[in-house]
């Protein structure tokens, strides 16, 4: 049964979750499989990461790891940081977001507008703006650890924190199940921290073990699939860091789909033009992978994926040229 929100919410935090699921019947016309996209940019921070931000902070409060007036530190490509900035603004915490200079400028501007302090980390040698590599992430992790230790702050630690997975198991996955009346057959998702993929896959398979879950990776760095890593640089921000995330559980994954930057960009642009859905690089990758699976599926298979964030976060990039 669909849960109803009260007419007036106590705070913006109560607007997190319960995002719409939209059929992509124009984009996927003629395919045997039907594709539905969960529009996560309806969250207050315009991304799916608002869910984990709220869960991580509230779990830390319950555990006594975060007390009134405390400081939160986290490495971020921008979306988790934005979610944390919203949560910290409402709850009165100081947030220091550590991010690579390779991430889009819109993300850092949003963070600062929401009251966060942003620590920008120069990219590794040979990196290109707009392409965050494994090496860039390692530099960001090093700085985040230093800041956390120096301040004695609470580290959100999304790559290791089980609250990340639980947030999606308890909300995103449950919502998909309810919105499809249990008819979802396939879930498709990019993997960064692995929180979304693990949580949704676990929730769906718990209810129906026959549901299949496919991980989306950059075509040049298919490390989860066991393929050769040709290049750790790509444009799918927030995903595909050419490392196996600590939260990853391969037993919940039924297959892998490699997507190139070009495929992600093409599909993101088609989503805007043909479906009126204005989303970012990783959403383009998700839907490109879902289309590939849809072409090979049994007729009537319902494939669900997520629109991870808004295209507004990428206006300074080449995703949507002037």
Q: Which residues are marked as active site?
A: 49, 282
The pairs formed by 104-109 with CB atoms below 8 angstroms and a separation of 24 or more are: 104/78, 104/130, 104/237, 104/313, 104/314, 104/316, 104/317, 105/316, 106/78, 106/312, 106/313, 106/314, 106/315, 106/316, 107/77, 107/78, 107/79, 107/81, 107/82, 107/313, 108/78
Question: For the chain, where are the alpha helices, taking DSSP H only?
Answer: 50-62, 79-91, 105-113, 134-151, 162-167, 173-179, 195-207, 261-270, 281-296
For CA atoms 121, 258, 38, 314, give the dihedral sign. Answer: positive
* 168: its two tokens: 């999606």
**Of 81, 95, 80, 78, which Cα lies nearest the Cα of 130?**
78
Name residues whose C-beta falls within 8 Å of residue 295's C-beta, 6 or more positions apart in sequence. Answer: 31, 32, 33
């Amino acid at each position: 049964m669909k849960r109803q929100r009260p007419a007036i919410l106590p705070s913006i935090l109560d607007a997190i979750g319960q995002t719409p699921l939209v059929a992509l019947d124009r984009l996927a016309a003629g395919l045997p499989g039907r594709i539905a996209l969960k529009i996560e940019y309806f969250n207050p921070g315009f991304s799916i990461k608002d869910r984990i931000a709220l869960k991580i902070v509230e779990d830390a409060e319950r555990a006594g790891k975060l007390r009134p007036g405390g400081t939160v530190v986290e490495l971020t490509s921008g979306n988790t940081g934005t979610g944390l900035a919203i949560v910290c603004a409402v709850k009165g915490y100081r947030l220091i977001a550590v991010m690579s200079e390779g991430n889009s400028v819109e993300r850092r501007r949003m963070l600062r507008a929401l009251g966060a302090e942003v620590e920008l980390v120069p990219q590794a040698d040979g990196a290109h703006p707009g392409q965050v590599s494994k090496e860039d992430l390692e530099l960001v992790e090093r700085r985040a650890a230093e800041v956390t230790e120096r301040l004695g702050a609470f580290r959100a630690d999304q790559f290791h924190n089980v609250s990340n997975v639980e947030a999606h198991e308890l909300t995103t996955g449950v919502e998909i199940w309810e919105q499809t009346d249990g008819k979802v057959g396939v879930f498709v998702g990019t993997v960064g921290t692995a929180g979304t993929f693990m949580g949704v896959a676990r929730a769906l398979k718990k209810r129906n073990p026959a549901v299949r879950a496919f991980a989306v990776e950059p075509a040049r760095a298919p490390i989860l699939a066991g393929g050769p890593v040709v290049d750790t640089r790509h444009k799918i921000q927030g995903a595909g860091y050419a490392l196996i995330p600590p939260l990853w559980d391969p037993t919940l994954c039924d297959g892998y789909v490699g997507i190139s930057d070009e495929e992600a960009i093409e599909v993101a642009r088609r989503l805007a033009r043909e479906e009126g859905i204005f989303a970012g690089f990783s959403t383009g990758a998700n839907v490109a992978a879902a289309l590939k699976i849809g072409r090979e599926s049994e007729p009537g298979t319902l494939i669900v994926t997520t629109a991870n964030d808004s295209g507004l976060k990428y206006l300074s990039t080449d995703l949507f040229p002037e």
